[in-house]
């Protein structure tokens, strides 16, 4: 059904003896209502002068200045994806391999630091009993604060060492260490026995200039659609998808849409979820999702990564949403199904996508971090060079032989979701984006005090790194 304004514009042209190509009609539908009459009259006037009585897509695009830019680059590549590497090692030996891999990978990362040359194994440090400064590294196994001191215990394959932090500034760094996170410690043996921690060195990321696209191509960052939930904002999301086909100059240059997990609300994810669902099965939720996403123009790469509400497996790393639930996603040319976490390249800009499940564990135990500032948690992950360090809390972690949650390569953009709150910041040249949600506040979220920022799309110019947000929420 054409809306009234488009019908009026169409009739105006038909009455002047014009034919209108169906593709041109699509463009007219995207023009702002108040501009329609002006646009059609001008195009008719120009074409009458040329004595050409067919109005096609090209005429309108030229007039509106939105002609598809053939020089605009849109190169998509998947740089890393856990899906094919998932082996599902099992049990205790699996976890031993996982932690050995974590230690080896992070030790390699920290080896760029000058102090790393002085690293000794924990057993050899214990054996020497020297009062000189020494360096050890390992995974944090305990951390406690009491009576003005902070204690930290680390473990490497040779042994376990507990140290005490007296320095106030260093206590602040130590207090936010996460269990199972990798650290390097500068220590010395105290005269009374035990060890004093004199420095805490994190793997961290180096300061660097980011890779940029050669052309003004745009990418949109989304997550947490929760399709199937009663609280999914269908109308707003449809408006967003329609905007991608509109004459808006940024929409015309958008070539990437990244979805960072929780596409669907899932089934049996939380108690009594069935009462909050519009679509009661995974299959119906995914088919609704496909209907909505397949309206995204075909010249846009759509990257689809799972979250904790999507099917596949719950434990990290998660494989891409399996084909057996809905093969359409896998058979659509411009759709790219990736696991969680994945690194993709958009015109050379490297984007690390991670749903963000571990944020729950980290917020719970870390002073100063909260759900309303998710980028601060993301910065913590970048410093730790690990996306989900804490084992045995809320976030399930699979016993893989390789720890794929280590941040091996430093991205240009770190895209996370899960928290349902839009947030942005820059850390050492890395643009951190938390992409919010398309689900209204749920009763659960309101009971735990989470105020989401739904219905906003974050849009990045991949050349200038200028960030825009577009609000589709109806207030
Ligand atoms: O997560 C939606 C939001 O709810 C996000 O901010 C995390 C938060 N969340 C999820 N589970 C919990 C628990 N168990 N306690 C506190 N906060 C939580 P989503 O993954 O979309 O359900
Ligand atoms: Fe979510
Ligand atoms: Zn989530």
Residues within 5 Å of ion ligand 2, judged at the Cβ atom = 224, 262
Atom of ligand 1 nearest to the CA of 420: 6
Check residue 97 and report its DSSP letter. Answer: H
A 10 A CB-CB count for 56 gives: 16
Residue 198: enclosing H or E segment and its boundaries?
Answer: strand 195-201
Residues 83-124: tens digit of each pLDDT:
999 986 677 788 899 999 999 999 999 998 889 999 999 999
Which residue's CA is the closest to the ligand 1 atom numbered 6?
419
- How many C-alpha atoms does 162 have within 13 Å on its Cβ side? 8
| All CATH 2.40.50.140 domain ranges in the chain, comma separated | 113-201
Q: Pocket of ligand 1, candidates 361, 445, 447: which has the most ligand atoms within 8 Å of its Cβ, to mutate?
A: 445
**Domain 113-201 bears CATH identifier 2.40.50.140:** yes
Q: What is the pLDDT of residue 247?
A: 85
Q: Is 224 in the pocket of ligand 1 (CB under 6 A)?
A: yes
Say yes or no: CB of residue 380 within 6 Å of ligand 1.
no
Q: What is the DSSP letter of 85?
A: G
Give the C-alpha separation, 466 to 450, whole Å: 28
- Ligand nearest to the Cα of 437, by number: 2
C-beta of residue 153 within 8 angstroms of C-beta of residue 142: yes
Q: Cα–Cα distance between 329 and 460 in angstroms, integer?
A: 25
pLDDT at site 50: 87
Residue 308 in contact with ligand 1 by CB distance below 6 A: yes
H/E stretch holding 285 = helix 282-293
Is the CB of 89 inside a 6 Å radius of any atom of ligand 1?
no
Q: Tell how strand 76-80 and strand 342-346 pair up.
A: antiparallel
Give the position, in ligand 1's atom list, of the atom nearest the Cα of 226. 21
pLDDT at 475: 60
- Ligand 1 pocket residue status of 371, Cβ below 6 Å: yes
Q: Which three-class secondary structure state does DSSP give residue 223?
A: coil
For the CA of 355, the nearest atom of ligand 1: 20
3-class secondary-structure state, position 108: helix
Q: How far is CA 143 from the centre of its chain?
A: 29
* Residues contacting residue 441 through CB under 8 Å, at least 6 positions apart: 231, 450, 451, 452, 454
Q: Is the CB of 445 under 6 A from ligand 1?
A: yes
Q: How many residues does the chain have?
A: 475
CATH code of domain 4-64: 1.10.8
Q: What is the CA radius of gyration of the chain?
A: 27
What is residue 60's predicted lDDT score, i.e. its pLDDT? 86
Cα angle for residues 201, 206, 207 (degrees, 5° grid): 130
Is any ligand 1 atom within 6 A of the Cβ of residue 420?
yes
Closest ligand 1 atom to the C-alpha of 262?
21
Helices 33-50, 4-15: inter-axial angle, 10-degree rounding: 20
State how far the Cα of 195 lies from the Cα of 149, in Å rounded to an integer: 13
Using CA positions, which residue lies closest to atom 1 of ligand 1? 418
> How many Å from the N-terminal Cα to the C-terminal Cα in the chain?
26
How much is the pLDDT for 444? Answer: 95
Is this model's pTM higher than 0.75 or not?
A: yes
What pLDDT is stored for residue 1 in this prediction? 61
pLDDT in tens, 323-375: 999 999 999 999 999 999 999 999 999 999 999 999 999 999 999 999 999 99
Question: How far is 379 from 106, CA to CA, in rounded Å?
Answer: 17
Q: Where in the chain is the domain with CATH 3.60.21.50?
A: 76-86+207-391+401-471
How far apart CA 156 and CA 161 sit, in angstroms, is 9
Q: Tell me, using a 6 A CB cutoff, whether residue 419 lines ligand 1.
A: yes
62 φψ region: left (φ > 0), alpha (ψ -120 to 50), beta (else): alpha
Could you tell me the mean pLDDT of each successive run of 10 residues in the chain, 475 residues long?
A: 84 92 86 86 89 89 79 96 86 86 96 92 90 94 92 97 96 96 96 92 95 98 98 98 92 97 97 96 98 96 98 96 98 98 98 98 95 97 97 93 96 98 98 98 94 98 98 85
Q: Is 450 in the pocket of ligand 1 (CB under 6 A)?
A: yes
The answer to whether 103 and 158 have CB atoms below 8 angstroms apart is no
| CB 310 less than 6 A from any atom of ligand 1 | no
Give the right CATH number for 76-86+207-391+401-471 from 3.60.21.50, 3.30.70.580, 1.10.8.60, 3.20.20.140.
3.60.21.50
Tokens 């910041």 belong to which residue? 425
Asked if residue 120 lies in contact with residue 135, where contact means CB atoms within 8 angstroms, the answer is yes
Please, where in the chain does CATH 1.10.8 lie?
A: 4-64
């Amino acid at each position: 059904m054409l809306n009234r304004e488009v019908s009026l514009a169409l009739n105006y042209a038909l009455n002047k003896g014009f034919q209108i190509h169906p593709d041109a009609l699509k463009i007219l539908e995207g023009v702002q209502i108040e501009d329609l009459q002006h646009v059609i009259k001008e195009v008719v006037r120009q074409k009458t002068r040329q004595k050409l009585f067919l109005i096609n897509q090209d005429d309108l695009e030229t007039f509106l200045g939105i002609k598809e830019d053939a020089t605009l680059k849109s190169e998509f590549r998947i740089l890393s994806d856990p899906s094919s590497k998932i082996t599902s090692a099992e049990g205790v030996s699996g976890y031993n391999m996982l932690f050995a891999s974590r230690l080896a990978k992070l030790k390699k990362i920290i080896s760029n630091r000058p102090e790393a040359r002085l690293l000794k194994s924990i057993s050899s440090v214990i054996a020497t009993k020297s009062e000189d400064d020494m360096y050890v590294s390992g995974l944090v196994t305990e951390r406690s604060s009491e009576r003005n001191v902070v204690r930290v215990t680390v473990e490497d394959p040779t042994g376990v060492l507990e140290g005490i932090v007296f320095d106030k500034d260093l206590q602040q760094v130590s207090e936010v260490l996460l269990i199972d996170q990798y650290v390097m410690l500068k220590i010395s043996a105290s005269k009374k026995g035990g060890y004093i921690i004199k420095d805490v060195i994190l793997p961290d990321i180096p300061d660097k200039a980011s890779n940029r696209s050669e052309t003004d191509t745009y990418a949109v960052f989304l997550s947490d659609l929760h399709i199937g939930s009663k609280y999914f904002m269908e109308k707003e999301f449809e408006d967003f998808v329609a905007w991608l086909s509109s004459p808006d100059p940024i929409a015309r240059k958008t070539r990437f849409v990244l979805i960072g997990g929780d596409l669907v609300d899932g089934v049996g994810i939380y108690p009594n979820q069935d009462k909050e669902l519009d679509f009661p099965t995974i299959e119906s939720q995914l088919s609704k999702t496909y209907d909505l996403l397949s309206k995204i123009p075909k010249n846009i790469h759509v990257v689809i990564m799972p979250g904790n509400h999507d099917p596949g497996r719950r434990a990290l790393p998660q494989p891409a949403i399996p084909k057996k639930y809905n093969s359409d996603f896998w058979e659509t040319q411009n759709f790219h199904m990736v696991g969680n976490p994945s690194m993709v390249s958009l015109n050379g800009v490297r984007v690390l996508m991670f749903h963000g499940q571990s944020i729950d564990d980290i917020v719970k135990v870390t002073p100063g971090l909260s759900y309303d500032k998710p980028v601060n948690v993301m910065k913590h992950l970048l410093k730790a060079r690990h996306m989900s360090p804490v084992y045995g809390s809320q976030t399930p972690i699979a016993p893989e032989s390789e720890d794929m949650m280590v941040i091996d390569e430093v991205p240009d953009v770190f895209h996370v979701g899960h928290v349902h709150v839009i947030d942005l910041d820059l850390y050492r040249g890395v643009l951190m984006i938390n992409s919010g949600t398309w689900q209204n506040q749920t009763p659960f979220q309101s009971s735990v005090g989470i105020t989401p920022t739904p219905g906003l799309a974050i849009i990045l110019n991949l050349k200038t790194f200028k960030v825009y947000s577009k609000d589709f929420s109806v207030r």
